[in-house]
Structure 1
Amino acid sequence: MDEPYNLELFPGCQIKLLLFRNIRNAAALKRKAMEGSIEGALLNPALILDALQIRVAANKAIHLHKLGKMKTRSLNAEIIFNLSPTNNISEAFKKFGLSDSNSDVLVALTDDGRNTLNSQEIISHVDGQQVSLAELSQLTDITQVKKVYKITAQEEKIGSILDAVICRMSTKDVL
Structure 2
Amino acid sequence: MHLTQELQLFPDYRVTQMLFRDIKNAAELRQYAVEGKINGALINPTMVVSPFLAMLAANKAVHLQTLGKMKTRSLNSEIIFNLSPTNNISDAFKRFGISDGDNSVLVVVVHKKDELQFLSDVTAMVDGQQVPVEEVSSLSDVAKIKKLYKVTPQEEKCGSLLDAVVCRMAIKDIL
SS at match of 2:109: strand
Q: Does the aligned pair in 1 maintain the 2:51–2:134 contact within 8 Å?
A: no
Residue 78 of structure 2: aligned partner? 78
TM-score normalised by L of structure 2: 0.96
Other-structure match for 2:5: 5
The one-letter amino acid of 1:10's match is F
Check if 1:28 corresponds to 2:28.
yes
Q: Using the alignment, how far apart are the partners of 2:134 and 2:167 within structure 1?
A: 23
What code does the residue aligned with 1:169 have? M
Q: Give the alignment's Cα RMSD to 1 decimal.
A: 1.3
Residues 142-168 of structure 1, C-alpha deviation per residue, up to 9 Å, x if partnerless?
101101111111111111110010010
Secondary structure of the corresponding residue to residue 12 of structure 2? coil
Partner of 1:116: 115
SS in 2 for 1:38: coil
Q: Which whole-Å CA distance do the structure 1 matches of 2:149 and 2:123 have between them?
A: 31
CA contact 2:19–2:105 (8 Å) conserved in 1: yes
Counterpart Cα distance in 1 of 2:8 and 2:155: 27
Alignment of 1:50-65 (within 5 A): 50-65=50-65
Contact 2:23/2:103, CA 8 A, preserved across alignment: yes
Q: Please, which runs of 5 or more residues in structure 2 have no aligned partner?
A: none
In the alignment, the residues of structure 2 paired with residue 116 and residue 62 of structure 1 have an alpha-carbon distance, to the nearest angstrom, of 16
Aligned length: 174
Question: Unmatched 5+ residue regions in structure 1?
Answer: none
**Equivalent in the alignment of 1:172:** 172
**Match status 1:47 vs 2:47:** yes
Q: Which residue identity is paired with 1:126?
A: V
How far is the alpha carbon of 1:28 from its aligned partner?
0.5
Conserved 8 A contact 2:50-2:134:
no
Instruction: Please identify runs of 4+ aligned residues in structure 1 that moved more than 3 A.
Output: none
Percent identity, aligned pairs only, is 54
What is residue 100 of structure 2 aligned with on the other side? 100
Looking at structure 2, the residues matched to 173 and 150 of structure 1 have their Cα atoms a distance apart, in angstroms, of: 17
- SS of 2:11's equivalent in the other structure is coil
CA contact (8 A) 1:109 1:119 kept: no
Q: 1:129 matched to which residue of 2?
A: 129
Q: Deviations over 1:110-144 (max 9, x none)?
A: 11x49824211011100111111122121011101
Q: Give the SS at the match of 1:70.
A: coil
| 2:115 aligned partner, one-letter code | T
SS at match of 1:6: strand
